A and B are shown apart, each in its own frame.
Chain A
Amino acid sequence: DAKTTQPPSMDCAEGRAANLPCNHSTISGNEYVYWYRQIHSQGPQYIIHGLKNNETNEMASLIITEDRKSSTLILPHATLRDTAVYYCIVRARGAQKLVFGQGTRLTINP
């Protein structure tokens, strides 16, 4: 699976959009981009994933660049409960395992 690079930490004001970047310059054509988050010490939670088109669900939006070498997770109206570590993972379908990196610690400030 391709390696990802994320900033170790970010801050965002409550009510604003939180934009979390991820670089995956070695991504292969069959690899998806997945995002998970881990709130405090709970088990990680799936957020969203995509291949090359932008995706949106009730939690977030995922913007993938045309060359697929980077992506951005957008939380449109961040709340204090969105404070968490966010993991960007690149993985081929059927790869059988999901490998987590260090992630970005997002802090939402009141």
Chain B
Amino acid sequence: NAGVTQTPKFRVLKTGQSMTLLCAQDMNHEYMYWYRQDPGMGLRLIHYSVGEGTTAKGEVPDGYNVSRLKKQNFLLGLESAAPSQTSVYFCASSYGLAGPLGDGELFFGEGSRLTVL
């Protein structure tokens, strides 16, 4: 059981390039999230999804787009990368309201380190 898998784990981009981070979960979770974490800081929510085909903005959505075309996948896109987007990106998922522990228990991936030069 893989849990939450993020790809790629490392990436270096030049300013202005685009890329997509993929998050896949095999737990049949309803909710999925993308966070970013800068050095010495807590996690900040970028976008999230409460079901297939739905997305919503978090605390820091600017410069990112997301899609949830399949329940198990949540994609985070950077259309034109900027140095300010250098960060570690974490994906997470949860059962949602129907889950055994409610929707507050999030399962996190190992992170994707992105550097924008």
Contacts and interface: CB of A to CB of B under 8 A. Distances in A.
B41 interface: yes
A98 B45 CA distance: 8
Contact of A94 (B88, B103, B105, B109): B103
B100 to A, nearest CB: 13
B42 A96 contact: no
B111 A94 contact: no
Given A96-B31, A96-B56, A100-B35, A44 B105 contact: no
A28 interface: no
B104 A100 contact: no
Given A93-B103, A96-B56, A42 B45 contact: no
A43 B48 contact: no
B111 A96 contact: no
A101 B42 contact: yes
Q: Which of A44, A87, A91, A101 has the most CB of B within 10 A?
A: A44
Given A94-B103, A96-B31, A42 B42 contact: no
Given A41-B111, A94-B97, A99-B59, A87 B104 contact: no
B105 A46 contact: yes
Interface in A92-108: 93-103
Contacts of B88: 41
B111 A43 contact: yes
A103 B42 contact: yes
Contacts of A95: 103
Nearest to A98: B106
Nearest first, the 4 A-B pairs at minimum CB distance are A43-B108, A100-B43, A100-B42, A46-B105
Given A49-B104, A93-B97, A94-B103, 17 more contacts: A32-B102, A41-B88, A42-B111, A44-B90, A44-B108, A46-B107, A87-B42, A93-B102, A94-B97, A96-B31, A96-B50, A96-B56, A96-B103, A97-B45, A99-B45, A101-B42, A102-B41
